[in-house]
Every structure is written in C-alpha cells, then in structure tokens.
C-alpha cells in the first residue's frame, strides 16, 4: 500500500528554503546554532509535533487511533508531524515533503523505513550475512542498501537490530547477528558505518540501533513477551552490541517493546538516560517502537495515554512512533509543569539536529531525484554484490564422502517445493524487493547443471503425501544424486513469527526417509531464517547445507556453492539445538556447580536424562570443501600483567585439495571472578585465505579490554587469576593454552 495523496505537487522550489531569512536557515552557521535559533521560534505545539511520527504507508504494526489521510496531511502542513514511516519512493516523499515545508517554519519531515537487508536488491537476512564473518563485506552490503534507499527518498533506516538472542523460537533472530555479544557488536558497528557513511553525500541514511534493550530475551521465544534479566547479564551479554553500534556513531536508537527490570523499555530511565545518554554519551535521538509508548498502559505501568506520554519523555525517549500521544499531551503536560521546556527542547532539538545534519533544511528534496532513483536501483553491480554476500552466508554442516561439490555432469534430481517457489524466498522485511526478481534454487541450478529434474516432494504447508513422495522416489531413482530443499518458508521469519516447533516437518522427514531408501546420495539444503532442529534429518542425508534465506540472489548463490564454484566458508553464529527442550542454548554458558560427569559427581550433574547436553552444531561451526589442521596454541608468556599484551599464535594448514577461506576463532575463559564468567567467550577472530597445502601462521594480541568484564553497575573490571585461551575452527573443537594474569 502506498501513501496516496491525491494532491497536486506544489511549485515551491528549493531556493525558497535556502534563503537566509532567519539564522536557522543559514547553512553557514553551525548546526547547534541553527537548532537553538529554530527552537527559539517554535511554539510548544510545533516542538511536540517534531516528536510525532506517523505511519504513511503499509502497516508494520497494529492500527492505533488511526488518523485519516486528509487529517494526516493537515497535520503535516501545520507542523504537527516530525516524521513519517513507510513512505518511500521519490514521487511520494516529494509530494508529502512539499506539504511539510508549507508549515509555518518550513520544517522538513524525516522519512524512516525498515531497510533491514536491502531496499530493492535484497541481501541475505542479517543472521545469515553475519555467518560470513566478513565485516568489510557486511559494511559494503549496508552501504548498497543505503544507496538504494536514499535514492528513493528514505532518510533513515530502522536497522541494525542489535538484540542478542539464544532462542530460535523467536522469529526475529533473523534480524540480528547471532548469540555472541562481542561479534554482534562488530557486525552492528559495521552495519552502522555502511548505512551512515558520509551522510552529506545523499547516498547514505541515518541508522537506528534497536531494540533497546534486551528484546532478544522474550520469554519462551514468544514475540512481545516479558523479559527478565539481571543487571550483570544485561551489562555483559545484552548491552555490548548496542554500545558498539552507538560508538560507531549511530544517529538514533529505538526502544524495545519489552519490559526491563519491571519498567517498559520506552519508559525506562535507567536504560535511556542513565546508560545510553549519560554513561555512553549518546547524542542522537531515541524513537519508540511502533506504539510502544501507548503500550505502557497494557504493561500496567502507565495509567492512561497522558501518563504514558509523560513517563516516556521523562525517561528520555523522544519520538513517538504511532502511539499518537506525545504530540497530543506534551503541551498540556508542560502547562501543568509535569515536564519542563528544557526536556521538550532537548527532545525536539535532537530530532531537528539530525534533519539539519542530513541537509534537509537547506534542501528538503535532497533525496528526491527521479533519475538517480532509476539509475541506482537493482543494478547488475548491486546484484553481484548481493550474490557474493549470499555465497558467503551458506553454512556447510555435513559432507560425508565429499559428496559435495556436485559433479556438473551428473544427473541431479532436485526435490522440494521451496526450490521452485519465489514467494517463499522472501521474509517480511524485504523493503521494496520483489520476490519475482528473486532467483530460485531450481533456476540457479539449471544454469549450472544441464541434466536436472524437479518435483515438489511436499506441499507449501510442509506436509507431504504418498503421491508427492512416490514422484520424488521416481525422480531420485532416475538420477545420480538428489538435492532436496527442506526447511521453513521465509514468510515465517521476522516480527510476530514465533514458532513453538522450529523444526523440520513430519512431511519433510517422511520424504527424506523415502529418498534415503533409494540408495542415492542425498544432499539436503535447508531454507530457514533461524536454526531449525535438524536432528532427525541429519542421519538421513549425506550432506547438509544451511542455506538460510538469502535474498534476491538466493538460487544463484546456492547453485554456485553446490557445484563448487564457491568454496563454502561461513560459520554459524547461532547454535543449532539438538532438541527444542535445550532452548535457550548458547556456547557461552556458565559452568554450573555440577558441570559434567568428569568432575566425579556420579549421577548428580547438570544434564538431560533423555538427550545429550551438546547441541547438534555449535556456535562458530561450518565446513569447507577443503580441510584444515590446527597446531597447538603458543602464548608469548605464561604470566602477564594487566597492562601487558599477550600474543597468541597458531599455525593453520590447509590439508585438502582446494584453496579456502577459514575463520580462525579465539576464545578465553576466566576461571574465578567476582562475577562468574562463561566457559568460553569469543574475543577475536581472523578470516584468512589459505591455499591448498599451505600453512599460515595466525596471531592475535590480547589486552586488558579482552580480559575484563562488567559488574552490575556497568563498571569494567579486570581481575587477576587463571585464564585459558582457546583457538579453533569453532567454539567446540579448540586447542587450549593457560596463562596467569597478575
Ligand atoms: C516494529 C518493529 O519492532 C520495529 O523493528 C520496526 O522498525 C517498526 N515496527 C517499524 O516498522
């Protein structure tokens, strides 16, 4: 749905706004001076208007106190709206901006949009992209998304999502960078840099760090559910990625829907003012999530809308996305002296600051160039970058007898509804991408392999039938090798897509069993936007590939990987559980008082009686078509002081026949601390190309920062004692060396 204005474009030109009638219109002044001058001219109502963000297009949340189209336009013209979300495209953004600058002080709107993994050219879902461990590429991918979005009149993306989550039941794990706080921080920072770049060049957009904070902890993986987290866990595990993104210069932050420490995140002064503003020095503005100010009432925290508007502003939250209460009640609250002019000015001023920073006061139509919009969208270059990104995201989980890569001359039976269904390749957050433009696995493989058959094997709802299975058996029998695409539709990914059973369906398992009986080698390709339980599928197949949801170039990337034109190098950034009962599961867990049988505890230790403790595949895991051998770990010293640097060295040999890229991972363990530490914590990694037969020395430097942790108040602490360093190809199969920190 588009914003239909039904109004003629007015003839106001850029020049009429560039004149320096008032100091705030003078580009020669500093932004601080311009904001101060403008605030001095604004009425209380106009200031409150800046805090008002309305939906102008497709709904990405429930309709709340809906405002009709005409009323919305009138509000825009009167300066009662500071921002619109979901209005995209030069034609629409120009039309509505034209109305905005008719307002008394000609204040332009800022247009926000969910550019989560691409605008028109769709990249892999962020979770998959993070499996590349390639920060440079991740930054580049975000810059392409920004280039397309900004050319379509968008000023601001609601990304990156920095929520650490250990729960594949939660549909939104697809939007994040996985379970490790350190790595998610690096990815989030790279994405901020990619989106924002040099904001002055019209090719970038403001980033929005979301959802602040700890939204990834929703209980039982159920969307919008409660969150219960201690301060120690908040500081050590959940806050680091937001902090890294803020440090990278993110212009805005979005509140979470959840409640932290008994207070909804939107009204949580500890999070928004004490931590974000005061401790981290964040200077940008804070936007609510969709209607989250108003939802403080449902949470049982605010009495009514007015109370919610008050509590949100008092906490330090600023822009009101779709609750429609700040603009309505703040002037009244000011009159009643419940809020101060300074509070209102700070919030409005920070929003205005970003508008000045984008150059919108000097040219409100800066991002409105039709020719540019056409030129940069969905280009061959953008698609090539998206294809590389997709290749780098595919995780090879199992490859018995080197069944992969496929011999291009062999006859392949491709089976699986998803392999031939464009709509299922796309999730909810696909910007303006069109699933008709996406390449299916069938299309991709056909371009590489001439002798190929296809059948569905199961239905779009993941069920199967005797007829479908019999057809699959026939095709498999007539082929040399079977590639079967199983998993869950992309449509089941993202917001409001929680699943109690994130697993392979019974229908697909029945299909795999039948295919195994044919005696043909079977390669299973899993499409899903979260790690699924693959425990039943794994023994039924010779090779297992986590193909995620890879965007526009999905099928081309999968095909290139399957035939060996690309040697897989991705490593999963989320643990693959063995069973649903293990969730939440993560590698960086604590030891417990009764960790394993090897501690001599007999029967009485922390375990399940019916399944192993270990996941099916651990964090950091992923195979290649070549193999690597890791030497023992060497440390520059077995004792170091707190100011010293510890050098860690290891040799990695490519023992296979193909050149490959390997991500060498370094973890530490601090054995005794005033706040208990995880059994392993990622602290560094290097992704390197190693030629077949070649050995490369890989070294890391560990410093104070890597060995410290946070106390419950967010103070960074370093304590003496015994540590281990672990280096390896994943979080499980590591080599270890010990040292003492004095
Ligand atoms: C709600 C989602 O939680 C948030 O991530 C998104 O940016 C907004 N809706 C706007 O669509």
CA distance 641 to 742: 5
Distance in angstroms (rounded) separating the CA atoms of residues 410 and 479: 8
b/e sequence 448-473, b meaning 16+ C-beta within 10 Å = bbeebbbbbbbeeebebeeebbebbb
**Distance from the CA of 60 to the center of ligand 1, in angstroms?**
6
Which of the listed residues 253, 495, 496, 497 should we mutate to test ligand 1's pocket, taking the one with most ligand atoms within 8 A of CB?
495
Q: Any residues with CB less than 8 A from the CB of 733 and at least 6 apart, and which?
A: none
Is residue 106 within 8 Å of residue 38, measured between CB atoms? Answer: no
DSSP 8-state secondary structure symbol assigned to residue 72: H
Tell me which residue has tokens 């605030």: 39
Residue whose CB lies within 8 A of the most ligand 1 atoms, among 205, 321, 322, 497, for a mutation test: 321
Q: Which residue's structure tokens are 């897989």?
A: 568
Residue 290 Cα to ligand 1 midpoint, Å, equals: 6
CB 295 within 8 A of CB 16: no
Per-residue pLDDT of 241-259, as tens digits, reads: 999 999 999 999 999 999 9
CA distance 125 to 609: 36
| Backbone conformation region of residue 202, classed left if phi is above 0, alpha if psi is from -120 to 50, else beta | left
- Counting as low any pLDDT under 70, the low residues of the chain are 1-20, 597-602
Residue ranges covered by each domain of the chain: 1-110+340-378, 386-580, 626-741
Main-chain dihedrals φ then ψ at residue 582, nearest 5 degrees: -80, -15
Q: Which of 60, 212, 496 to mutate to test the pocket of ligand 1 (most atoms within 8 A of CB)?
A: 60
d(CA 707, CA 720): 10
Distance CA 217, CA 679 (A): 20
Query: How is residue 439 written in tokens?
Result: 């390449």
User: Ligand 1: which of 206, 290, 321, 498 to mutate, judged by most atoms within 8 Å of the beta carbon?
Assistant: 290
Report the nearest-CA residue for atom 11 of ligand 1.
60
| 491 CA → ligand 1 middle, Å | 16
Q: How far is the CA of 288 from the centre of ligand 1 (A)?
A: 9
**Backbone torsions φ then ψ of 242, nearest 5 degrees:** -65, -40
- Residue of 302, 385, 356, 324 lying closest to 117 (CA atoms): 385
Supply the pLDDT for residue 597.
63
Bridge partner residues of 83 (DSSP): 53, 110
Ligand 1 centre distance from Cα of residue 302 (Å): 22
Measured CA to CA in angstroms, residue 408 lies from 396, 480, 525 at distances of 19, 11, 17
Q: Which atom of ligand 1 is nearest the CA belonging to 158? A: 7
Instruction: Extract the tokens encoding 188.
Output: 């989030």
Atom of ligand 1 nearest to the CA of 159: 7
CA angle 84/89/91 to nearest 5° reads: 100
Q: How far, in Å, is the centroid of ligand 1 from the Cα of 421?
A: 27
d(CA 227, CA 217): 6
Instruction: Tell me the CATH class for 626-741.
Output: mainly beta
| C-alpha closest to that of 516 among 459, 478, 477 | 477
Tokens found for residue 546: 């986590």
Q: Tokens representing 642? A: 């707190």
Separation of CA 33 and ligand 1 centre (Å): 33
Closest-lying ligand 1 atom to the alpha carbon of residue 161: 5
Distance 289 CA to ligand 1 centre (A): 6
Which residue, among 263, 275, 269, 345, has the nearest Cα to 314 in the 3D structure?
269
* C-alpha span between 523 and 418 (Å, rounded): 15
Q: Which atom of ligand 1 is nearest to the CA of 208?
A: 7
Annotated catalytic residues are 289
Name the residue with the closest Cα to ligand 1, atom 4: 289
Of the CA atoms within 13 Å of residue 709, those in its CB half-sphere come to: 24
For ligand 1, what atom is nearest to the CA of residue 112?
10
Query: 611 C-alpha vs ligand 1 centroid, how far in Å?
Result: 37
Angle of CA points 359, 363, 369, to nearest 5°:
105
Smallest CA separation from ligand 1 atom 1, residue: 290
Phi, psi of 73 (to 5 degrees): -65, -40
- Residues lining ligand 1, CB < 6 A? 60-61, 85, 114, 158, 210, 289-290, 495
Q: How far is ligand 1, taken at its centre, from the CA of residue 373, in Å?
A: 25
Pairwise CA distance, residues 443 & 276, whole Å: 47
DSSP letter for each residue of 593-651: SS--GGGS-TT-SS--SSS-SS-SB-TT--B-SS-EEE---EES-SEE-TT--EEEEEE
Alpha-helical segments (H) within 405-490 = 441-446, 466-477
User: What is the position in ligand 1's atom list of the atom closest to the CA of 86?
Assistant: 11
Atom index in ligand 1 nearest the CA of residue 210 equals 5
For CA atoms 304, 310, 316, 317, the dihedral sign is positive
Query: Alpha-carbon Rg of the chain, whole angstroms?
Result: 27
Q: With H, G, I as helix, E, B as strand and everything else as coil, classify residue 562.
A: helix
Nearest CA to ligand 1 atom 3: 289
Q: Which of 309, 336, 335, 303 is nearest to 321 (CA)?
A: 309
1, 114, 160, 319: which to mutate for ligand 1, most atoms within 8 A of CB?
114
**The CATH number of the domain covering residues in 386-580:** 3.40.50.1700
The number of the ligand 1 atom at minimal distance from the alpha carbon of 60 is 11
Q: What local confidence, expressed as pLDDT, does residue 178 receive?
A: 98
- pLDDT tens readout for residues 262-303: 999 999 999 999 999 999 999 999 999 999 999 999 999 999
CA distances from 570 to 122, 609, 640 (A): 19, 33, 34
Confidence at residue 8, expressed as pLDDT on a 0 to 100 scale: 37
Alpha-carbon gap, residue 136 to 119, rounded angstroms: 19
pTM: 0.97
Which residue's C-alpha comes closest to atom 7 of ligand 1? Answer: 158
DSSP string, 710-733: E-TTS-EE---EEEEEEEESSSSS
Query: E-assigned strands of 446-578?
Result: 452-455, 481-487, 522-527, 543-546
């Amino acid at each position: 749905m588009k914003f239909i204005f039904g109004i003629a474009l007015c003839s106001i030109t850029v020049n009429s706004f560039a004149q320096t009638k008032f100091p705030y219109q003078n580009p020669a002044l500093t932004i601080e001076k311009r904001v101060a001058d403008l605030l001095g001219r604004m009425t209380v109502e106009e200031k409150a208007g800046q805090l008002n963000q309305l939906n102008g297009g497709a709904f990405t949340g429930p309709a709340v106190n809906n405002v009709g189209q005409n009323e919305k336009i009138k509000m825009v013209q009167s300066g009662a709206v500071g921002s619109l979300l979901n209005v995209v495209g030069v034609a629409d953004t120009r039309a509505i901006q034209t109305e905005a600058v008719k307002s008394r002080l000609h204040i332009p709107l800022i247009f926000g949009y969910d550019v989560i993994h691409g605008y028109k050219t769709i990249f892999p879902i962020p979770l998959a992209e993070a499996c590349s461990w390639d920060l440079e590429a991740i930054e580049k991918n975000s810059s392409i998304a920004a280039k397309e979005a900004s050319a379509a009149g968008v000023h601001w993306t609601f990304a990156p999502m920095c929520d650490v989550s250990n729960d594949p039941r939660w549909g939104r794990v697809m939007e994040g960078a996985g379970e490790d706080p350190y790595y998610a921080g690096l990815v989030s920072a790279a994405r901020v840099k990619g989106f924002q770049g040099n904001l002055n060049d019209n090719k970038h957009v403001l980033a929005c760090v979301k959802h602040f904070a700890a939204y990834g902890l929703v209980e039982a993986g159920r969307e919008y559910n409660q969150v219960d987290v201690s301060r120690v866990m908040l500081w050590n595990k959940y806050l680091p990625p937001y902090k890294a993104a803020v440090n990278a210069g993110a212009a805005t932050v979005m509140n979470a829907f959840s409640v932290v420490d008994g207070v909804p995140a939107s009204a949580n002064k500890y999070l928004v003012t004490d931590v974000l503003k005061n401790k981290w020095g964040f200077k940008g503005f804070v936007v609510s999530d969709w209607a989250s100010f108003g939802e403080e009432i449902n949470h049982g925290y605010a009495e009514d809308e007015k109370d919610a508007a008050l509590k949100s502003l008092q906490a330090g939250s600023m822009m009101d996305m779709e609750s429609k209460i700040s603009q309505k009640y703040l002037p009244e609250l000011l009159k009643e002296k419940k809020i101060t002019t300074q509070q209102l000015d700070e919030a409005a001023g920070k929003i205005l600051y970003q508008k000045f920073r984008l150059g919108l006061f000097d040219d409100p139509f800066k991002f409105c160039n039709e020719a540019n919009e056409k030129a940069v969208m969905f280009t061959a270059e953008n698609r090539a970058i998206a294809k590389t990104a997709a290749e780098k995201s595919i995780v090879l989980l199992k490859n018995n007898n080197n069944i992969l890569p496929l011999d291009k001359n062999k006859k392949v039976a491709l089976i699986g509804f998803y392999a031939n269904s464009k709509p299922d390749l796309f999730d909810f957050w696909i910007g303006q991408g069109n699933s008709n433009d996406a390449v299916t696995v069938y299309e991709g493989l056909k371009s590489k392999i001439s002798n190929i058959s296809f059948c569905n094997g199961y239905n779009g709802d993941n069920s199967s039938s005797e007829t479908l299975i019999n057809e699959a058996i026939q095709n498999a029998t007539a082929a040399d090798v079977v590639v079967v695409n199983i998993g869950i539709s992309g449509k089941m990914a993202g917001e409001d897509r929680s699943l109690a059973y994130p697993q392979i369906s019974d229908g697909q398992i029945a299909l795999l069993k039948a295919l195994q009986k044919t005696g043909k080698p079977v390669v299973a390709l899993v499409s899903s936007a979260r790690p699924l339980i693959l425990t039943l599928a794994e023994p039924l197949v010779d090779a297992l590939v986590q193909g995620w949801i890879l965007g526009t170039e999905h099928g081309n990337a999968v095909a290139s990987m399957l035939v060996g034109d690309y040697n897989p190098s991705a490593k999963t950034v989320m643990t693959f559980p063995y069973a649903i009962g293990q969730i939440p599961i993560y590698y960086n867990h604590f030891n417990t008082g009764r960790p394993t049988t090897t501690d001599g505890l007999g029967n009485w230790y922390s375990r399940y009686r019916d399944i192993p403790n270990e996941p099916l595949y651990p964090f950091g895991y992923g195979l290649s078509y070549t193999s690597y051998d890791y030497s023992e770990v060497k440390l520059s010293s077995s004792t170091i002081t707190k100011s010293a640097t510890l050098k860690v060295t290891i040799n990695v040999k490519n023992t296979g026949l193909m050149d490959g890229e390997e991500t060498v991972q370094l973890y530490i363990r601090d054995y005794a601390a005033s706040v208990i530490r995880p059994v392993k914590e990622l602290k560094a990694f290097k992704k390197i190309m190693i030629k077949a037969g070649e050995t490369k020395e890989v070294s890391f430097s560990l410093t104070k920062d890597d060995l410290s942790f946070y106390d419950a108040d967010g103070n960074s602490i370093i304590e003496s004692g015994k540590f281990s360093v672990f280096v390896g190809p994943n979080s499980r199969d590591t080599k270890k060396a010990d040292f003492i920190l004095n």
